[in-house]
Structure 1
Amino acid sequence: MTPRPVALYLGRFGDHERPDSAREQLCELDDVEEPVEEPAAASRDDEQRAREKARDEGYAEGFAAASHEQEEMRRAEHLAFEQQIVKERDRWTQDEGARLGAKMEAALAEIETRIGASAARILRPFLVRQAGRKAIDELAESLKQMLSGSRNPLVEITGPEDLLAALQTRLAGSAACAVWTPGPTMDVRIIADQTLIESRIQAWIQRIEASPK
């Protein structure tokens, strides 16, 4: 209740208009609206702090969400990068394996060719000698059969001097009626009556010479 002056309630004796005036003033005062009190400064400060707090919390939540999203993107990119590295390594391994395999096959083939050529080069003289020995053995056996009969035909023998000497040694004097004639050819030729025997050494040598060098 709003306090009012006491004078408003007191009347003056002998003044008939005063009470009415006082009553009118009281009515006027009753008609006056009481002033509305404004919010306190502390309440305004609380509201301001609440708004600032809500704003800061919103910023913090947004920053945390953005940071989380960025971290997830970074992890996804890192995982994709590692997977790409694995794929590239596998592809490189396969390509290098195929390339090295082809090189190794080519190198082994070249080594095999070189070994074969070296072996042929080393064995060629031996094979020629072996072919000559085999031819001499066969010719000696054929001559022994021809000269073992009672006819003892005239035998003409031509060929390289070294092979003729080897053939004479193998016959051991059983071909006393043979005519030995050194010749320029590699083959030994034996003629007895109508029979012709040839060693074919030259053909053996040609086959050996035709082998890879």
Structure 2
Amino acid sequence: MMIRVLIADDHRMVRTGFRVILEIEDDIEVVGEAADGTEAVRLARQLRPDVILMDVEMPGMDGLEATRQVTADADGPSVLILTTFDRDDYLFAALQAGASGFLLKNGTPEALTEAVRVLAGGEALLAPAITRRVIETFANPALRQAGTTTRLGELTPREHEVLVLMASGATNAEIAGSLQLGETTVKTHVSRVLMKIGARDRTQAVVIAYELGVVKPGSS
């Protein structure tokens, strides 16, 4: 069976390079290209690829949010994050978003094609150096908490207010009323909070907020 691949990257030369590498292989077919996250989500649902090569930093919707959306779909594709930036925040946010693999763009063509085959087979894959960092972080609660605390520090004052209200059990409508914002604006703030702290959903965001003392039991 042919492995169907969608390439999502905002640089045309990068997409072309990946296409050339993949289409040399007899068992891999590139079925489409996307220049941003919104187009990646649309084409994923239209073309039904087995694997998406997803860049992180793209205009409009970034690769992390696109990954979250396509992996939330029933029978969604596996996502292989490919980025130039060797950053832990990208790594953990990508895994939280549902990515099955994470590679740097300076890897070899052989590593790329092997990763595509691994993900198409339903498995997960990380570059060896990245795997070590994941193991070290999740094996050490202090490091894990420090990493999350760092992400909390990226929240704007308004996003921090939204997180506190979320943790108190407020709905989007209630948050909007409390902060005198529109519900659409609140939804945007909630999405950014989830992305920045690496939470899969509101429930996990609330757990993180309590674990790190953003709010305390009984404070609501």
TM-score, scaled to structure 1:
0.19
Higher helix share: 1
Higher strand share: 2
